[in-house]
Amino acid sequence: MYKKSVIKKMGSIVVVAAMLASAFTVMSVGNAAGASSANVAINEIMYNPASGNEWVELFNSGDSTVNLTGWVIKDAANNTFGDLTNVEIPPGEYVVVNGTGAVLNNDNDEVHLFDDSMTEVDNATYDSSMGAD
């Protein structure tokens, strides 16, 4: 009877140790390179300005600065919008990305934000009923 109890306790310890090890493994994978990209989102779009260029405003809701070098903003037709080279967003801050011409449709379009591994981080859809400048 004593042996059975010791074996049962040892089995429980092994199971708990395995659960703890797997929990820490999952946590470390979750903090991999893409963790900060999930904190950047499209906040506002100016698709039909009365004057000046179109722009897209991004927001960093995370707690660390995100460097957007290699990131791209594209519309539904896969046109690239703006240049994010050497652009950084501090935590809790916004950045406005100016376009260099008319890329976004004035009636309706989709805007997609991709990180430097071309993983879509966020997207937004708009139509003319949302108004313009």
Q: Which among 71, 90, 74 is positioned nearest to 124, based on CA atoms?
A: 74
Which pTM does this prediction carry? 0.69
Q: What are the phi and psi torsion angles at 16 (to 5°)?
A: -65, -45
pLDDT tens track for 47-79 = 888 878 889 999 999 999 999 999 999 989 898
Q: Which among 78, 74, 65, 70 is positioned nearest to 42, based on CA atoms?
A: 74
Q: How do the pLDDT tens digits run along the chain, 133 residues long?
A: 444 454 444 455 444 444 433 333 333 222 233 446 679 999 999 888 887 888 999 999 999 999 999 999 998 989 888 899 999 999 999 999 988 777 888 888 899 999 999 999 999 998 877 655 5
CA distance 50 to 48: 7
CA distance 57 to 97: 6
Do 41 and 24 form a contact (C-beta atoms < 8 A)? no
